[in-house]
Amino acid sequence: MKTKYLIIGNSAAAIGGVQGIRKVDKRSKIVLVADEPYSTYSRPLISYWLEGRVDREHMVYRNPDFYRQYGVDTMLGTKVTAIDPAAHSVTTDSGKTITYEQLLIATGSNPFVPPIEGKEKAKNAFTFTTFDDAQGVKKALKPDAKVVIMGGGLIGLKAAEALIDQVASLTIVDLADRVMPSVLDAEVAQVMQQHLEDLGMELRLETSIKSVNSMSVTLSDGAKLPYDILIFAVGTRPNQALAEAAGIDCERGILTNESQLTSAADVYAAGDCTQSHDISADVNRNIAILPNAFMQGETAGINMAGGEAVFDKAFPINSMGIKDFYMLTAGSTEGQPQIVKTPDGIRKFYIAGDTLKGYMILGECQRAGIYTDLIRQQTKLSTVDWESLAEAPKLAAFDVSVRKADLAQAH
């Protein structure tokens, strides 16, 4: 089988790749191969489906007619087992060979489960990153269920939100001293922790699961917790195995340049499987968030089709709501903190020199995209009314010429 463009994956980066290609090349053949059998769906919505807030139809990331509209031949439920960059080909689990002119690797990330005694034989144990995971949890769900979640990060807390009103008890176990340790500092995390406990969640921090027994877990402090549903939500790692086996340069993610081109000719990569340059901290890291994935994929697609595009504005952005209590964070914790207490939460900004490097907001997040744009554009705070902005995000704090520019799109 031959195609001009081949995409491995079917989430945000892959969809961005399709749209990027079609911005330049309206007609050439695109083949998309993905191991999940479903049309593209929004992974963050699996918790809402489990909670009953959305149905399957409204989980879609793009309309099911998307593939036809964009002229994409799909091979869903098919796994790519090897890439041969020299031969410009891939092999699938059915033994089929597909040759390509341009390849996009958009394989996403895999859930990480640490080595735990007995976990391989554990019943009703799940990870929580795919629709299949959510379906598995739903089948095991019952009103008197006891739930144990290993991991107090974004994935674990979204699973907890979906389940807290549907089960008898829910306990979160995390080795860190606070919830969401990779996103929130201790002061802001304490505000979130209080909210979670008010919802009825039990938090076992600074501990871990030592072993899984017959429908119970033993913690590192010796305590035993019975469970009916056990969820491993420790985190994810870049799914870079195919690229590594093909000899493509990888570190903590597949390495690319600003055009999303890898070290192999005509092979691009985008999304959670890659490593990016974080402009807010000036470091290279894996940034596994949906907006970056789409923009990287679109950049790759444009370049695959002979256009010119770069993606050089990567930095972490995380948003989440837990029972109508909202969190938004962006950037890094470089620089000096500035705290603004609000009636419903807290805002914390990190400022270095004359630029905003990052922020954490709990509570009202309306128009906070203005702060995000300050980070993205590396705007000098001396050119705006920062004290007014810190109190409340508003365009009036900017010069009129700026208000008419792209910041008007950020609120």
Query: What Å distances lie between residue 370 and 278, 367, 375, 408, CA to CA?
Result: 19, 6, 9, 9
pLDDT over threshold 70, residue 404: no
Give the strand pairing for 109-111 and 2-8: unpaired
Question: Is 143 contained in some domain?
Answer: yes
Question: Is 316 contained in some domain?
Answer: no
> What's 385's domain CATH number?
3.30.390.30
Cα separation, 263 vs 243, whole angstroms: 10
Whether residue 11 sits in one domain with residue 24: yes
**SS3 state at 38:** coil
pLDDT recorded at residue 342: 87
Return the C-alpha torsion angle 232, 130, 78, 3, nearest 10.
-120
What is the rounded average pLDDT of the residues 352-371?
Answer: 93
pLDDT recorded at residue 97: 98
Q: Residue 263 burial (CB < 10 Å; 0-12/13-18/19+)?
A: middle
Amino acid type, 328 = L
pLDDT over threshold 70, residue 405: no
| Exposure letters 32-41 (e unless 16+ CB within 10 A, then b) | bbbbbebbbb
> What's 120's domain CATH number?
3.50.50.60
- Give the N- to C-terminal CA distance of the chain in Å, as an integer: 47
Whether residue 338 sits in one domain with residue 271: no
The share of the chain scoring above pLDDT 70, in percent, equals 96
For residue 344, what pLDDT band results from cuts at 50, 70 and 90? confident
At which of 234, 266, 295 does a domain end?
A: 234
Whether residue 250 sits in one domain with residue 168: no
Question: Is 126 contained in some domain?
Answer: yes
Range of the domain at 132: 113-234
pLDDT over threshold 60, residue 77: yes
Cα separation, 182 vs 339, whole angstroms: 19
Whether residue 389 sits in one domain with residue 329: yes
Whether residue 404 sits in one domain with residue 336: yes
pLDDT over threshold 60, residue 133: yes
Whether residue 102 sits in one domain with residue 10: yes
pLDDT over threshold 80, residue 410: no
Q: Please give the tally of structural domains in the chain.
A: 3
Q: How many CB atoms within 10 Å of residue 150?
A: 26
* DSSP label of 115: -
Whether residue 249 sits in one domain with residue 105: yes
At which of 234, 254, 276 does a domain end?
A: 234
Cα separation, 166 vs 162, whole angstroms: 8
At which of 198, 216, 234 does a domain end?
A: 234
What is the rounded average pLDDT of the residues 112-119?
Answer: 94
Share of the chain residues as helix, strand and coil, in percent rounded to the nearest 5: 30, 30, 40
Question: Is 317 contained in some domain?
Answer: no
For residue 243, what pLDDT band results from cuts at 50, 70 and 90? very high
CB 16 within 8 A of CB 30: no
Whether residue 96 sits in one domain with residue 140: no
Question: Is 175 contained in some domain?
Answer: yes
Whether residue 201 sits in one domain with residue 154: yes
Whether residue 83 sits in one domain with residue 139: no
What is the rounded average pLDDT of the residues 35-50?
Answer: 96
pLDDT over threshold 80, residue 399: no
Q: How many CB atoms within 10 Å of residue 383?
A: 11
Cα separation, 315 vs 409, whole angstroms: 19
**SS3 state at 80:** strand
Structure tokens at 18: 């399709």
pLDDT over threshold 90, residue 162: yes
Question: Is 309 contained in some domain?
Answer: no
Whether residue 176 sits in one domain with residue 130: yes
Q: Which of 67, 2, 68 is nearest to 34 (CA)?
A: 67
pLDDT over threshold 70, residue 312: yes
Question: Is 296 contained in some domain?
Answer: yes
Whether residue 165 sits in one domain with residue 20: no
